[in-house]
Structure 1
């Protein structure tokens, strides 16, 4: 992990940075033929994703990881999304975790998830959950497992006119 990586809360002006990070990650996935997760089009051209990024930036749960003042990762925490089974106890939910793939291998995602666990502890919550794309070769699910998460419920998001989106909820206990 880079020692110069810093975390800061995000705000309304950071919606464009979230979209830039999503665009970068989508381009990286597309270049590797991994289009099932986020498709092929940039988030910054999708009205639904633009609205979502604005909501994240104004919702109070956005955190940005920065190297030399440049955002290289984003974390959004809050309530679980409506398409996943509800938790049976209080939780903190990771709504978004995205990193700039140009800085891969620096532990940015690890650091953001550690921060999410710290936020859960500060709130007196013992459960951290996340959902992710479970299609393809399952690499993303395995990455979360390496971060200490355990698979809980699989789910599917139906998308009219498109293939269903396979997802996996994962949970991690926070001491």
Structure 2
């Protein structure tokens, strides 16, 4: 089934699908008591998050993964966010990676990261960076390390009630076709 995965550019008509993917991922995290990453509220009811997804779609930074024409994942690539240390060389930055938990085990996230790598190569960029939630047991950091990323700088973002712990990771892009850990 995952062999039929297609990645395509997203647009304004895909905003609701991306918000639904985010809501599903948040429900999955909440069910596991992992509210530190995104909290427990829906993204589709958050005007700030809706505007953010619309901006990504309008600016051509959004890509969707589909199985049989249904969205099962999304990735947003572009410039780094202001709260992370800047890169010292050209980069492509992963601002969002989310997949439908109903398709866990199909390597949707890994395939989307591979797509981001190809985008970076096509732009002549040798550095792919991402940041993620660094709290709880560090599972998200380990996920990205399993995808060939190396942890670099930790950071934190002040929120109204706490500081959100984050970790920047990078992946140096080797020769095209180099084997990646899944």
Mapping of residues 154-165 of structure 1, within 5 Å: 154-160=154-160, 162-165=161-164
Q: Deviations over 1:110-169 (max 9, x none)?
A: 000000000000000000000000000000000000000000000000012x22100000
Partner of 1:76: 76
Output aligned runs, 1:28-47, within 5 Å.
28-47=28-47
Q: Distance in 1 between matches of 2:44 and 2:62?
A: 18
Alpha-carbon deviation of 1:174? Answer: 1.1
CA deviation profile, 1:32-84 (whole Å, cap 9, x unmatched): 00000000000001111111111111111111000010000000000000000
Alignment partner, residue 173 of structure 1: 172
Task: State the secondary structure of the residue aligned to 2:90.
Answer: coil
TM-score (norm 1): 0.98
Aligned ranges 1:21-170 → 2 under 5 Å: 21-160=21-160, 162-170=161-169
Structure 1 gaps, min length 5: none
Q: Distance in 2 between matches of 1:59 and 1:18?
A: 15
Alpha-carbon distance in 2 for matches of 1:93, 1:50:
20
Q: Where does the alignment leave 5 or more consecutive residues of structure 2 unmatched? A: 175-182
Question: 1:44 aligns to what SS in structure 2?
Answer: coil
Q: Distance in 1 between matches of 2:104 and 2:28?
A: 11
Aligned counterpart, 1:15: 15
Partner residue in 1 for 2:179? none
Cα distance in 2 between the residues matched to 1:141 and 1:58 = 29
Distance 1:18 1:45 in 2: 13
Give me the CA root mean square deviation. 0.8
